[in-house]
Amino acid sequence: MKPEKKASLGDVLVIGFAMFAMFFGAGNLIFPPSLGMVGGEQWFTGFLAFVIADGGLAVLTVLAMIRKDGSIWSVIDRIGDLPAKILASVAILTVGPMLCVPRTCATTFEMGITPLFPGFNTWVFSIIFFGIVYMLTIRPSAVVDIIGKYLTPVLLIILAVLVVIGILNPIGEISSVTLVDSIAKEGILAGYQTMDVLVSLAVTLMLVGNAARNGYTTNKERMSIISKSSIVALLGLGLVYGGLTYLGATTSSLGLGVDMSQTGLVVMITEALLGRVGVVLLALIVFFACLTTAIGLVSASADFFSELSKGRVKYALLVALICIFAAVIANVGIGMIIALASPVLNIIYPVLLTQTVLSFFDSTIKNHNVNLSVAIGTFVMAIFGVLADMGAQAFDFVYSLPLAEFGFFWLVPAVVAGIIGAFIPMNQPKA
């Protein structure tokens, strides 16, 4: 029996940096400054809500998955084979070629390329961007090391320069006026928009595979190395989010208003702090942040669908197809992508969150109907919430439910559905 391998500091940092970079993408860069701008003196409350709804839930999902085999099935297998496959496929399509991956390219173009080269063609840039993603993703065993060893340190250094300069030379006074009714709710909803819970569902298996290749072969060893790496990733996210939210708060007295473009605000902050050099610096920040996220998500999405097809569709072909499809979607623009993402996320996020939490109680909750009932109840309520947001007055009752002010109107109905499910006998397999 081989001795248990202890998690080395080097491995913890490499995997932790890779997790940070995969989580820190387009939304993570544009949402915190906007949150600080509308929050004013309450920017820290918004920051806390954001980091909990984003990094906190993402790390929770990673830990839930590595308790088993690290795959997405770890947290949704109890709702049944077909519902689990449908939910997993929708989640991976959302975080992969449909929304999150195209958003990385669109954000890079609007924040990094347009300010420097106003007339640059979007189609040409998307081909270049996803050509680079394809080349760095085609070797799956190298993805985590490429991101963790090389790309993330560069990203962190550039971000640190921007934040430190912004702290030493604030753009303006922090306003005492908050432009939204609840900055905590705003932070939670912004955390939703980053899609990092979906990202964690996609990339955890990749992290488990990388840990195994580095000698962490038992479940206990993988749990040790990835849980420690999660702390590194969460600390990194917290520091960066805090800095970016503060930078946004220093613009709160400028009278920009809630209609200020999120990408435009980041460009304005950077130019105000560093001038034209800052625009170039921002282009590098955006490029590395979005590139690392795109590499991780394209690789994870290709892995998932290759496994789902039982190897009949090869990884390399799927990487190429995802890159091509995402390049096309990226050309609709960041604003449209965020608008399209919102209703989809508001439906599948609550379902995945409830199943992730329930997965920690697998040994206690033996009846799988609890999981299925919670999934159905959450799904139905989430649809009602989306319809209410679209103006369907018949569903306005969701705003009166407990925790609705924080966006968790579906939580109590989910608990009730779970209690009902506990009284439904589970079908036993035939002898």
pLDDT digit string, tens, across residues 177-212: 888 888 888 898 888 778 788 888 877 877 877 787
Domains of the chain by start residue, with CATH: 10-345 (1.20.1740.10)
| DSSP label of 23 | H
Q: What is the pLDDT of residue 123?
A: 93
Radius of gyration of the chain (CA): 21
Average pLDDT over residues 47-60: 90
Cβ atoms < 10 Å from Cβ of 264:
15
Q: What are phi and psi of 112, to 5 degrees?
A: -105, -40
Cβ atoms < 10 Å from Cβ of 123:
11
Kindly tell me if the per-residue pLDDT of 67 is higher than 90.
no
347 CB contacts (<8 Å, ≥6 apart)?
A: 379, 382, 383, 386
Kindly tell me if the per-residue pLDDT of 271 is higher than 70.
yes
Average pLDDT over residues 396-410: 87
Q: What is the pLDDT of residue 14?
A: 82
pTM (2 decimals)?
0.79
| Cα–Cα dist 41/36, whole Å | 8
Q: What is the pLDDT of residue 74?
A: 83
For residue 423, give Cα distances in angstroms to 79, 81, 120, 209, 348.
16, 21, 61, 39, 25
pLDDT digit string, tens, across residues 329-353: 888 766 677 677 778 878 888 898 8
Q: DSSP letters along 310-354, please?
A: TTSS-HHHHHHHHHHHHHHHGGG-HHHHHHHHHHHHHHHHHHHHH
Q: Are 123 and 230 in contact (CB under 8 A)?
A: no
Per-residue confidence band for 431, with pLDDT thresholds at 50, 70 and 90: very low
The lowest-confidence range among 7-21, 62-76, 200-214 is 200-214
For residue 413, give Cα distances in angstroms to 55, 77, 192, 380, 400.
25, 22, 20, 10, 12
Q: What is the pLDDT of residue 377?
A: 95
Average pLDDT over residues 167-181: 87
